[in-house]
Structure 1
Amino acid sequence: MKTRFVLIHTSHAGNVGATARAMKTMGFDDLVLVAPRWANVLNREETIQRASGALDVLKNARIVPTLDEALDGMTHLCATAMTPRDFGPPTRAPRDHFAQLLSAPEGPDAAARPESVAFLFGSERFGMQNDDVYRCHVALSIPTDPCFGSLNLAAAVQLIAYDWRQALGGFAVQSATSPPAQADAAAVAAMLRHWEEALVAVDFLDPAAPKKLMPRLNQLFNRASLSPEEIHILRGVAKAMLQKAAVAEPPKA
């Protein structure tokens, strides 16, 4: 669904950059600024630094003089207003509203889903003006601690963007690393022979009465599913034990 984020009278350049970053992490790129404090806000150093790589969002962003121009083509308008109002659209939590919005049946004989959604954010100091809230279909209120509900502008954008992306289906969790390859049985056996030699050298294993130490170590390493790199480390430990034992061994008469 076409999604637009609209910042109205933004006064801090850093918040514009951080908003671009918040949008990009959730896969959104349509950003419109209504009469920001700085005419060159999209190119200011603080904006670029806070965008932290979301320069494509800044490049595609638009600055317009009026809210009417910012909302051109948008069919469902969501105000973000923490302060309750006696008059205006219903106030809902983002997640609840999104679930209701996307559950609307489609078709000519049913209430269709909106074709596009715009999220409106007011200035950092004063929030949204009443007239701007009144024209919206809903006022989204992020559930916060009743004793402290003050949210940074970019943080609010991130929360709305996350809940909206989740409502649209979300992204799959990406594994940070691929699982390591597993060492073969021959490598494990060679490492165990190396360890047996080292354990004897440091007097931890009595070759005359080995009991079940080596089979138990074999089972331990099998459960660990060692990688080739881990085998290399363990053989390095065995080598160090052998070297230490050789240095400590008294000279023969």
Structure 2
Amino acid sequence: MKTRFVLIQTSHAGNVGAAARALKVMGFDELVLVAPRWPDVLQRQEAIDRASGATDVLASARIVATLDEALEGVDTLCATAMTPRDFGPPTSTPREHLPALAGKAGSVAFLFGSERYGMRNEDVYRCHVALTIPTAPGYGSLNLASAIQVIAYEWRLALGGFEVKPAAPAAVPADAQAVAGMLEHWERALVDMGFLDPAAPKKLMPRLNQLFNRAQPTPEEIHILRGVAKAMSEAGGRRKT
């Protein structure tokens, strides 16, 4: 589904750059600005810096004078509004509404108002739905770029998301015989170091046995531990001479 993000009367150049970054991370690239505070916002250094690798999205963004121009060719409009409007469109969370929308044909625009005032009532009224992002009770103030990132993520999720590479298979632990051999090596090394008294070993080795059972070392790690034991024995021998 063709997707457009529309920012209305944005006042901070940094938010425009951050919006471009948010879109690119989620695989979107169509950004339209309606009457931004700075006519040259796309060239301002703060916007370029905040785009951080998404300057191509920033460079392809369009600036228009009216919302009508921004919405040309779009058939589904989604407002973003924290507060439901009387006589306005139904209010829904992105996760409730977007999966059904993703199954339709056509194009969609997500509209975001100014940082200070949000969306005007008349702009919300023309939309098909008002998306609201659930927040902690008593504090629903989201930075503009953060709100764009959340909506872009939820929309990408509704569209099927991105393929995630499977995790590398877990390392196979060493077998019990290898662990037992390593523990015998450590026991000799601990005696050589003077840390373990063979006449009064107490419960040291059983406790180490349980520790390594929990750790489930791999064969490579057993090799390292044996190397440590060898170094311990050599250090203990030097100390006695």
What band does the TM-score fall into relative to the shorter chain? Answer: 0.7 to 0.9
Within-5 A mapping of 1:126-205: 126-174=117-165, 178=168, 195=186, 197-202=188-193, 204=196
Aligned residue for 1:139, secondary structure, equals strand
CA contact 1:79–1:140 (8 Å) conserved in 2: yes
Give the CA deviation at 1:45: 2.0
Find the counterpart in structure 2 of residue 115 from structure 1. Answer: 106
Q: Does 1:51 align with 2:51?
A: yes
Q: TM-score, normalised by structure 1?
A: 0.76
Residue identity (%): 63
Unmatched tracts of structure 2, length 5 or more: none
CA contact 1:183–1:231 (8 Å) conserved in 2: no
Aligned residue for 1:39, secondary structure, equals coil
Structure 1 distance, partners of 2:132, 2:214, is 54
1:198-251 CA-partner distances (Å, limit 9, x unpaired): 245235485xx9xxx69x96x9579725153x34532442233123312321x4
Structure 1 distance, partners of 2:110, 2:219, is 49
- Report the number of matched residues: 234
Q: TM-score, normalised by structure 2?
A: 0.79
Find the counterpart in structure 1 of residue 218 from structure 2. Answer: 226
Q: Give, as a single letter, the amino acid of the residue that structure 2 aligns with 1:86.
A: D
What's the RMSD between the two structures over aligned residues? 3.3
Aligned residue for 1:10, secondary structure, equals coil
Q: Give, as a single letter, the amino acid of the residue that structure 2 aligns with 1:37.
A: R
Are residues 29 and 232 of structure 1, via their aligned partners in 2, closer, same or farther at CA, if it must alter by over 3 Å? farther
Unmatched tracts of structure 1, length 5 or more: 104-112
CA contact 2:75–2:107 (8 Å) conserved in 1: yes
Find the counterpart in structure 1 of residue 14 from structure 2. Answer: 14
1:15-49 CA-partner distances (Å, limit 9, x unpaired): 11111222222221111111211222222222122
Give the CA deviation at 1:99: 3.1
Structure 1 distance, partners of 2:20, 2:13, is 11
Find the counterpart in structure 2 of residue 91 from structure 1. Answer: 91
